Structure 1
């Protein structure tokens, strides 16, 4: 069984940091109201219109046109119709920030019924006219909605400050009182909590975090029995832990693993006998019998893969590797190799033909390198021997040796 621990810990977050916070007083709320007055009510809005002449080239034509329109009679919409390229747009209940900088600044400096002199913006010249003003509205300090917003602001600020202050104190106490969590819990108003069993790889609750498990199994915490340093979990949570219970790694009793041991021994012995039989089959194939002869009378299955490339994914990668690592066969004499397959079976691989890689087989940007590495394509066949060989051999497990 793996080494495991149970932990005691304290956890500091925004909610726990603010647990003993008091309600903000009237002076605090009044100061917040004065500092954030613009957040309450509605800002001033203005209506009117703007006439724009786009700047092209050196801008002289636009400047001349806007000066002529500034001297013309009538409202801006009427003036815009008098010059080609002049564009009029109405302004309806806009705040200053809703408008281009030059237009907004000019509009909010005008009195009702006034028209500006030419104003240059980033992309054109403007004339701006103000028709009406909707004054800003600011509710009273005692307005219920304002009070609710002020208290929410005050509460958020208190929580942020309390968390910062207690986080700093937690850092200090972790070093000043490293032998227990009670000092931290009492001074910071935190609850000592516990976990279930946690291993180096996994655990419930805070044991799911890598940082927690790494700290829990550190020498300072395990061997020296000290508190951990504060561990950060996310942006607004800190944890200090110590080991409450520790169980070193220990072997499982034989009774608990008997079946697993038996299966492994059977598999190991069967694999060993299968490989020995495969080597015997290899010698038989090299003497001239060939794979077809081995397959006769209920022997192993034989598969003819034809010509395959080194990079082919149609056959087992280990069979392909074995095929391309044998020496080049002669016209009437295949080359053989025994290999384990990716799924643990034993295969006898025969390469009985080689064909040089053609230009059509090389189509990637790394063609030259591939051609050097892949000098030939093999025609191979292979026999999967494991099932057959195991059926032809007996594997005996001495149960007395397991005790």
Structure 2
């Protein structure tokens, strides 16, 4: 064995690998690898190099591995977004404590890991997205459309309004990355299909009808038998989780609300100065309506291909400049720009900063009706035609004065809010065990909350950030004030826990009546189950009709009951129970029991018939085919991602979640 190991670690291959892993030491030294590092990742994704897939994960070979980290800040931002979305969806039903569960955190983290794996897969397979596909994707985004068509002005306006503002090139790069990341799973999802035979079988099943009979058992008489002390003690011991008081806190807090601060004084001179400082905001830039013919030139084109493209561009430019030339027809016949070709090369209205520099320089030096080119950009050769010019417009001071005044008031109030908040923070940090001295010095009011649990309460206790701080170990154990917590625009609060009650089991004396009621309810439930079992056993011996008649109970019968109905005549859980049992064989009814709406039901399925395919319309058939194919595609996507995961080593830092 040792001889085999010696053979595998000698020779030119091992020497090459040793050289590769030795290189880092020459640049950074041994001490850089021996020194400690503070890791901040919540998940680390590692994969050996493609040329050495069996590389062991041992130092220093791990220096060759591809490592991608998901840092704590990225996870925190995604988790907060998930919290906001779920709270908005659930409203008052939102449970902050349940949301903070380890399972939920892992669910959010797993989604981030899957995204990162798809990015790495796209990079590993060198997936490229064409300019035409990026342009088409952007053009189909509803936010960028006016009257159902892409609008360049709206596109640039929305990008400029982002925080921080986005340039078209940066946004296009983001779209390109997203398309590359999603390309493989999206194509896998769209590849799923359903055969006619599978669809027929499913439609027969979904359209199935059954003949049923059932008996709804009346509730047994209320249990009034005495409950012994031993029973009470045993039930209380076995169900202590049902008799717990939740953890609660009570807070004192100081709130700073910018909307209540006095409005600052605003004079004419300051407004005019603000107008001059923001003159670009109140000026619309010059716009030009242009069309072009693109002769595409790949970045890796050979010299011969470059010369051929230039010759073709010169020939098209000459044709476009010829008297009476139809530029639109020429573009439709010859342009390589898939996004504008069908529209005769029309690019709509453009402003400076939207196009490549050479294209922009030519377009903004032209006169209406003029044709220029060829113009070289990174996309190839362009022949450009200028159709119209829309001069820039500047709004006068008088027109925007009210808006400027509102800005000045808002800015002044924000400045006053920031100054007051800063003073409050400084004062509280000098004496963090009480909010009263700081509040008194600044003329603010100290308020208190009633005790509340992690589920929250009206007022500031409904804010997730307040709840998270109020139940944090640091505030509970130290009794000190929190950092400022933002409740909304120009609204912040500092809190301090003044009373904390841990979660605890309520004493038996306090819940004695509830325990006795639970015992009575359990006895009644068992009695009802026994009655249902007795009726079911009798029905197996003599049939449901005879058994029900002997018990003095009525039998309800439904023939031709559908599995699904737009207006169900019976509760759906009861219908589901009828269809969850096997079909009758040789005219022998299938018996069963279920609980629906708190009532026990014993039933018999007497017959079953497949759905009639002749009653299914082509539209219904196509809709079901799409739905099933979409579900199958989603399953195949999950299987693909699971397979990709198996090729990576994923480490999760649970303590950082």
TM-score by length of 1: 0.54
Query: Given the superposition, is the C-alpha separation of residues 314 and 31 from structure 1 closer, same or farther in structure 2, using an over 3 Å criterion?
Result: same
Q: Which of residues 247, 257, 268 in structure 2 aligns to 1:3?
A: 247
- What do residues 295-346 of structure 1 show as CA deviations (whole Å, max 9, x unaligned)? 22563332112222332433233333332232322334211112121x1211
- The runs of 5 or more residues in structure 2 that have no matched partner are 1-244, 277-386, 391-395, 629-657
Bigger share in strand: 1
CA gap of 1:305–1:187, structure 2 versus 1, over 3 A, is same
Pick closer, same or farther for the CA change 1:16–1:355 going to 2, 3 Å: closer
Matches within 5 A, 1:241-260: 241-252=495-506, 254=508, 257-260=511-514
Unpaired runs of 5+ residues, structure 1, are 39-119, 124-135, 139-145, 372-403
Match of 1:35 in 2: 273
- Change beyond 3 A, Cα 1:296–1:168: same
Tell me: CA distance 1:264–1:370, structure 2 relative to 1, closer, same or farther (3 Å).
farther
**Equivalent position of 2:455 in the other structure:** 201
Query: Equivalents in 2 of 1:34, 1:356: separation in Å?
Result: 80
Separation in 1 of the partners of 2:614 and 2:508?
Answer: 60
Structure 1 residue corresponding to 2:552, chosen from 299, 306, 309: 299
- Where 2:480 maps in the other structure, the secondary structure is coil
Structure showing greater relative contact order (alpha-carbon pairs closer than 8 Å, 6 or more residues apart):
2
- The alpha-carbon deviation at position 370 of structure 1 amounts to 9.7
Alpha-carbon distance between aligned partners in 2 of 1:324 and 1:232, rounded to the nearest angstrom: 53
**Is 1:331–1:352's contact at 8 Å kept on the other side of the alignment?**
no
Q: Deviation string for 1:23-64 (max 9, x for gaps)?
A: 86xxx84743663799xxxxxxxxxxxxxxxxxxxxxxxxxx
Distance 1:162 1:286 in 2: 82
Partner of 1:344: 598
1:229 aligns with 2:473: no
Find the aligned partners of 2:497 and 2:524 in 1 and give their Cα distance: 46
SS of 2:573's equivalent in the other structure is helix
Q: 1:310 to 1:223 in 2, by over 3 A?
A: farther
**Contact 1:335-1:352 at 8 Å conserved across structures:** yes
Local SS of the residue matching 2:456: coil
After superposition, the Cα gap between the structure-2 partners of 1:366 and 1:259, relative to the gap in structure 1 and judged at 3 Å, is farther
Deviation at 1:173, TM superposition (A): 6.0
Match of 2:571 among 293, 316, 330: 316
Q: Which secondary structure does the structure 2 equivalent of 1:179 belong to?
A: coil
CA distance in 2, matches of 1:325, 1:221: 53
Separation in 2, partners of 1:218, 1:298: 60
325 and 267 in structure 1: CA distance in 2 versus 1, 3 angstrom threshold:
same
Q: 1:320 to 1:35 in 2, by over 3 A?
A: same
Residues of 2 paired with 1:182 and 1:314: CA distance? 64
CA distances 1:198-241 after superposition (whole Å, capped 9, x unpaired)? 22223243234343233212222223323222111121100010
CA deviation vs aligned residue, 1:68-116 (integer Å, no higher than 9, x gap): xxxxxxxxxxxxxxxxxxxxxxxxxxxxxxxxxxxxxxxxxxxxxxxxx
Equivalent runs, 1:1-400 vs 2, <5 Å: 1-14=245-258, 29=267, 31-32=269-270, 35=273, 157-170=411-424, 178-182=432-436, 184-185=438-439, 188-252=442-506, 254=508, 257-287=511-541, 289-296=542-549, 299-312=552-565, 313-341=568-596, 343-360=597-614, 362-363=616-617, 364=620, 365-367=622-624
Q: Is the 2:253–2:435 Cα contact (8 Å) retained in structure 1?
A: yes
SS, match of residue 580 in structure 2: coil
**2:258–2:490 Cα contact (<8 Å) kept:** yes
Cα offsets for 1:173-217 (capped at 9, x unmatched): 666654332454256443222222222223243234343233212
* Alignment CA distance shift 1:360-1:303 (3 Å): farther
TM-score by length of 2: 0.35
- Structure label with greater radius of gyration: 1
In the TM superposition, residue 10 of structure 1 has moved relative to its aligned partner by 0.9
Are the equivalent residues in 1 in contact too, given 2:424–2:439 (CA < 8 A)?
no
Count of matched residue positions in the alignment of Structure 1 and Structure 2: 266
1:106-147 deviation line (CA, Å, top 9, x unaligned) = xxxxxxxxxxxxxx9869xxxxxxxxxxxx9x9xxxxxxx9x
Distance 1:224 1:356 in 2: 69
Alpha-carbon distance change, 325 to 16 in structure 1, aligned in 2, over 3 angstroms: closer
Mapped to 1, the partners of 2:557 and 2:495 lie a distance apart of 63
Distance 1:162 1:241 in 2: 21
CA contact (8 A) 1:196 1:204 kept: no
Compared with structure 1, are the counterparts of its residues 346 and 268 closer, same or farther at alpha carbon in structure 2 (3 Å cutoff)? same
Superposed CA offset, 1:150-170 (max 9, x none): 999876554221112333455
Contact in 2 for aligned 1:14/1:163 (Cα 8 Å): yes
Query: Are residues 272 and 257 of structure 1, via their aligned partners in 2, closer, same or farther at CA, if it must alter by over 3 Å?
Result: same
